[in-house]
Amino acid sequence: MIRINLLPREDRAHRRVQMTFQPGDLVVPVAVVAAAGLVILGTTLSQGARVSSLNRLIADIEAESRALAPQIEKVNRLAQERAELDLRLGIISKLEKGRTQTVRLMDELARCVPDHLWLTLSQQDAGNKLNLEGVTYSNLVVSDFMSRLERSPLFATVELGVAERGQVTGKDVVKFRISCQITPDERAN
């Protein structure tokens, strides 16, 4: 709000009131400043005590960590050795499983071969595909061989690639090529 003094100049001078300063007027501001100072000092001391307490706690934990460092290192080394041992055991288990698979595969293949059929090639690729080549006297024997392979639990997806007439030592024969998939042997697990 704006105040405008409309009195003449002479009257204005008489109206001026002189402010006098009394010592009792400083008590409240000084008390407020002192209280604020005490609050700041108390907070500073409290925070300082807390900082020193946390520093002591950190030092204790670091000392405990240094004391446990050899044991932690030993545990880490044992964990690494266990991981290496598990890897070796896994490899041994895989080799053990694969060790008998080839024997079982050849045994089952021998059981599937009918009379008057001779295998000239048995080749397994890196996966589970088996390629067979052979000779016989008749297409019926090749068909019987394929039926036996399909009934076997170790072979699946039996396909005839080629069956053609040929001669071996002056005799008429049927040369054939068969491919099939090897199924996992559940008994080997």
What is the domain class of 113-188 according to CATH?
alpha beta
pLDDT score of 41: 94
Q: Are 180 and 159 in contact (CB under 8 A)?
A: yes
The sign of the dihedral angle between the CA atoms of 61, 66, 70, 76 is: positive
10-residue block means of pLDDT along the chain (189 residues)?
Answer: 72 58 77 92 94 94 91 93 94 80 85 90 83 91 90 88 86 90 64
pLDDT score of 12: 58
Q: How wide is the angle at C-alpha 139 spanned by C-alphas 134 and 142, nearest 5°?
A: 45
Smallest CA-to-CA distance from 139 within 174, 172, 115 is with 174
pLDDT score of 189: 43
